[in-house]
């Protein structure tokens, strides 16, 4: 069962109960389906989403036909980041990568609440810092790291956010996420499968060996994770 309480999303969990009560009035639990499009580039953002156990991919489109994942949002964050910066239009396409629950809020009441809720502001500024770091690291990763290491990184990031070692996944979907051709995805997935790090059949991905997958991943996985931990105050800047 989907847990739609405050504790199920880390941004909301960081807000004092008194502030959350005011916010809660406008938060509605929703079920998001795999493949559902939440935002399109250049279009108005009608709602912001606090994932509880769903996963949302942020994609940048090129030439109106090709797209590449530049970030992912799970229960550590919120989709609709431009609103934090005072912009009501999305720059990316946001698509549901893992079906599940979220708490949704219409953009107008969110704006009012954001302006008067200091705890929400602080949590979302910290999250925005981490998401920006994730987006820039992903850009460099896509340029410099090979497909096998990138796939390993992507699987680990997904695993952290869905809190599960198994999730539905197709090669076609992965190709869009990683900016690879389908054959490139198959090659990378087969290489990880041969090393017994993952198993993959009939649209279902299973992570068999997390430690091995971390070794196979590029350093971007740990870099982004450290930034998120720092943004949540779990790592001292000098560590
Ligand atoms: Zn990388």
Q: Are residues 105 and 38 in the same domain?
A: yes
Q: What is the residue-averaged pLDDT of the chain?
A: 91
pLDDT for 62 equals 85
For residue 1, the model assigns a pLDDT of: 42
Position 132 in a domain: no
CA of 66 to the centre of ligand 1 (A): 20
What distance in angstroms lies between residue 224's CA and the mean position of ligand 1's atoms?
Answer: 10
Residue 138 domain-assigned (yes or no): no
Q: Give yes or no: residues 100 and 174 share one domain.
A: no
180 and 99, same structural domain?
no
Crossing angle for the helix pair 118-144 and 107-116, nearest 10 degrees?
Answer: 110
Residues 198 and 110 in one domain: no
Q: Which CATH number characterizes residue 191's domain?
A: 1.10.10.10
pLDDT of residue 239: 46
Confidence band of 67 (pLDDT split at 50, 70, 90): confident
Tell me if 68 sits within 8 A of 60, measured CB to CB.
yes
Cα 69 to averaged position of ligand 1 atoms, centre (Å): 13
CA of 87 to the centre of ligand 1 (A): 30
3-state secondary structure at position 169: coil
Q: Is-contact 176 190, C-beta < 8 A? A: no
Taking the centre of ligand 1 as the mean of its atom positions, its distance from the CA of residue 216, in whole angstroms, is 11
User: Considering the domain boundaries, does residue 198 fall inside one?
Assistant: yes
Answer whether residue 3 shows pLDDT above 60: no
State the pLDDT at residue 128: 94
Q: Is 184 within a domain?
A: yes
CA of residue 145 to ligand 1 center, whole Å? 5
Check whether 2 has a pLDDT greater than 60.
no
Same domain (yes/no): 184, 97: no
Both tokens of 159, joined, read 């695993």
Statement to judge: residues 158 and 106 lie in one domain: no
Q: Given pLDDT bands bounded at 50, 70 and 90, which one contains residue 234?
A: low
Q: E-strand spans in the chain?
A: 28-32, 37-39, 47-51, 55-62, 66-73, 93-98, 100-106, 166-168, 198-201, 204-207
Q: What domain count does the chain have? A: 2
Helices 118-144 and 17-24 meet at what angle, rounded to 10?
A: 80
| 104 alpha carbon – ligand 1 mean position (Å) | 32
User: Are residues 15 and 112 located together in one domain of the fold?
Assistant: yes
For range 163-173, the mean pLDDT: 87
| Residue-range definition of the domain harbouring residue 29 | 6-116
Give residue 4's Cα distance to chain centre.
Answer: 18
């Amino acid at each position: 069962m989907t847990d739609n309480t405050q504790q199920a999303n880390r941004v909301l969990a960081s807000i004092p109960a008194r502030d959350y009560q005011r916010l809660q009035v406008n938060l509605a639990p929703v079920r998001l389906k795999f493949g559902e499009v939440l935002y399109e580039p250049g279009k108005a953002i009608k709602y912001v989403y606090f994932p509880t156990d769903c996963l949302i991919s942020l994609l940048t489109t090129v030439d109106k036909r090709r797209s590449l994942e530049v970030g992912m949002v799970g229960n550590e964050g919120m989709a609709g980041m431009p609103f934090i910066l005072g912009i009501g239009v999305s720059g990316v396409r946001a698509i549901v990568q893992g079906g599940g629950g979220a708490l949704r809020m219409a953009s107008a009441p969110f704006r009012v609440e954001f302006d008067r809720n200091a705890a929400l502001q602080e949590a979302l500024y910290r999250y925005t810092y981490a998401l920006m770091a994730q987006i820039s690291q992903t850009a460099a990763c896509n340029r410099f790291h090979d497909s096998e290491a990138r796939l390993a990184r992507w699987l680990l990031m997904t695993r952290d956010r869905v809190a599960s070692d198994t999730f539905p996944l197709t090669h076609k979907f992965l190709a869009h996420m990683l900016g690879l051709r389908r054959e490139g995805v198959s090659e990378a997935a087969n290489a990880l499968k041969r090393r017994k790090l993952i198993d993959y059949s009939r649209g279902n991905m299973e992570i068999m060996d997390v430690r091995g997958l971390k070794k196979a991943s590029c350093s971007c996985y740990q870099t982004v994770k450290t930034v998120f931990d720092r943004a949540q105050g779990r790592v001292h800047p000098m560590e």
